[in-house]
Structure 1
């Protein structure tokens, strides 16, 4: 193991930025409610708050298997995108007829997200300072220019940077060009979960942590959720379990758990940051299929994550995979290559998280059990802002509202299902090998071209 990793603790840095709070009590008896929400991450907590807005007198109950935010929501990089479709390019490629609507709704969602932070008083270190996408290889530079052209078609402000202009934003010997989009945000995901949880409790939402739901069944006049402590009788249910094994059998093959990893350095001095030209507060990501996402924390540490996207045979979700991985060393080496002046800076934190990955890289939503159960999942690493949009979509569906959200083909059409094992594991390995080769050569594999034609794949 690299010396820079020798003292890194194996839990998310964000945990150390939030004051500890006692767990909410486990469910200990049968309960009855108007709306039951399963899952205490971003999606579930946003659903609870938006439901309270719409139904001031309703009894809303949220159950979480562990503690709110301990899964994907508290382990990500905190990139808050103005998109619900995994970017402009993905919208154009997969849903060209509704790309304009998807782009408009994504940008409006980020505006409304920021407004909700203010209205609810959520202190989450939200910074709307932009994002810089950087390219290393010539074909990636060409891709940045094409991305800029697409953005301008929809009136999205952006700027292609090279030479001194690039070095003033991010000075690395690896990258030859960049595309800067000012309308992009970052936040602290640990504080985001803690603040959503705090405000949910203040709005009389009943929250039960350490309460696993082991069964979902039809009941008299509604649904029944089975837990070790009692049965919840609910008129309607929202499933916000995302990367966890789904409660609906029909969703078993709709997403796969992909493990992603991140490192965080000690706080850097102004001089150290100036040595890499990074004096602003924008985020950074590179253009590879195996890509890194990079950002500063509030105290000027660098978070360096991504690159590896690991699927384990049989969709295993072992907790050990969150703490033990060769990916930490690989990330450390890639950090030193991209930012050689900081190569000796130690990392204080190293951790993994699970991404609920759909075969089209965007979330989907739907109804089940005679329209009494709504679900949303498959965010594929883009859920920080899209989770709010998904919450509103599920509530629209349950209330049978005809809205811009419920009319989206992207949400109404289910994703291509993943095949059973061992074909699943072999197919993912084959596709990922092709993507890695494309990063080296600029040539897309025949398999990935075929997947593109079918509207599925593993895009970054």
Structure 2
């Protein structure tokens, strides 16, 4: 990259605030008071992101008489649930390719359950009047290199053979550029109904309101410190009190689980994003995008991008940063060197938007597991359930995970709990320094594959055979 280009592109970041655009909202609700003293309940939900919010809401919808308490260590939606790209996907398996590879025998059922789950999210948003800019626009996976065009075509033929191509269109270069005009786009796959765009923080805040309206007691700024058996149930200690509950659902995702044995199944991966200023009518016309789909490119080190309700462009991805030791720290949320890369990539994709400024630049941790999709389980003789490992696609799948946790706590055999995906766990990550070394080698190999026509080296082929991976 020429120094002059770098200087020109980084100037676009000069006024970018290091805070998530979605959370930088004057309508952000005030947090609920922290828990003080001792409370009792039927179900305690730990975590105020999507996983916990959906669990609390569905628990009350299933049984309005159930006494439910939700505790959140900081504020509802402050972490991944308020910092993501706002892509709400039907897929429960981190995309159809991953699902078809890992669970070919139940992929049709998984796709059906995922579609029903996205429909249920849309219905809940409408029923509870959650103003979160929900748009069922679909998503286009775009090819920007010749080998990616071949891979998209081959994949589309495989999807057709599997009987899963309904609602998915293969677009050539002209067709994809009719949708969104970039000189880098060579082909695309448009999933017309399987993805919705939304304002992620407003969804979290709306779910919090819906929970409270149904009688859920919500305590923010209340971290759960310990989890121990207490009589016939469980007790969770907090800084100023404790909660005694018959059952507990853990929706803490990237943060260390209160069930210690679960911790090795996930690692934190830091993802970063930029948000532009609102585009003018002429700027928007120069790229088209009339159907407002979400987009993602097909590289291993991929970008994701979409329009906001006020016609800003969110542009994120590419770098996936794993900190040695797997620690989650606030200082990792801001990474100027990644912002500079993303700005350069943005203007390469959309040169007609030269001069647009970025108003926000931020990052955050994703809970990544080795199979890229959520896993589930119970502890303490079935009195505690957990779900984690959504690997960046939890906006939609966390609702499904909430239903799984509630099924497990009820001891019920359902169409969800009978799934192999639910019954089996991914392989755990090894301890340090092996985790960092393996992840670093995988990242290097993925970048090398992108630069060499998609050819996967021996390390990646071995990882593929073992069903292991690293993604965001």
**What TM-score results when the alignment is normalised by the length of structure 2?**
0.95
Contact 1:82/1:106 (<8 A) preserved:
yes
- Report the alpha carbon displacement of residue 149 of structure 1 after superposing the two structures with TM: 2.5
Which residue among 392, 417, 441 is the counterpart of 2:428?
A: 417
1:319 to 325, 330, 335: 330
Structure 2 matches for 1:167-206, cutoff 5 A?
167-183=177-193, 184-206=195-217
Does residue 45 of the first structure (1) align with residue 57 of the second (2)? no
1:162 corresponds to: 172
Deviation at 1:155, TM superposition (A): 4.2
Q: String of CA shifts for 1:239-275, please: whole Å, max 9, x gaps.
A: 0000111111111110000000000000002221221
Deviation at 1:57, TM superposition (A): 1.2
How is 1:129-168 mapped onto 2 (pairs within 5 angstroms)? 129-152=137-160, 153-168=163-178
Q: Which residue of 1 aligns with 2:462?
A: 450
SS in 1 for 2:264: coil
Structure 1: distance between partners of 2:391 and 2:265:
12
Root-mean-square deviation (Å): 1.2
CA distance in 1, matches of 2:37, 2:319: 43
Report the Cα offset of residue 156 of structure 1.
2.3
**1:132 positional shift:** 1.0
The structure-2 alpha-carbon separation of the partners of 1:163 and 1:452, relative to structure 1 and needing over 3 Å to count, comes to closer
Aligned to 1:264: 275
Q: CA deviation at 1:331?
A: 0.5
Note the alpha carbon deviations across 1:131-151, whole angstroms, 9 max, x for none.
111111222112211332244
2:375 to 340, 364, 374: 364
1:11-410 map, 5 Å: 11-17=19-25, 19-152=27-160, 153-183=163-193, 184-410=195-421
Q: Could you tell which deviates more after superposition, 344-353 or 9-18?
A: 9-18
Give the stretch that moved more between structures: 363-372 or 321-330. 321-330
- TM-score of the superposed pair, with normalisation by structure 1: 0.98
CA-CA distance at 1:459 after TM superposition? 4.8
> Which whole-Å deviations, capped at 9, do the CAs of 1:350-375 have from their partners, x for residues lacking one?
00011100000000111100000000
Unaligned runs of at least 5 residues, structure 1: none
Change over 3 Å in CA distance of 1:18–1:94 after alignment to 2: farther
Task: Quote the Cα distance in structure 2 between the aligned partners of 1:41 and 1:164.
Answer: 40
Q: Distance in 1 between matches of 2:192 and 2:26?
A: 28
CA distance in 1, matches of 2:192, 2:386: 32
Paired residues of 1:158 and 1:180 also in contact (CA < 8 A): yes
Name the SS for the 2:121 alignment partner.
helix
Query: Hey, what's the Cα distance between the residues in 2 that align with 1:208 and 1:163?
Result: 51
Rate the CA distance shift 1:447–1:18 in 2: closer, same or farther, 3 A.
Answer: farther
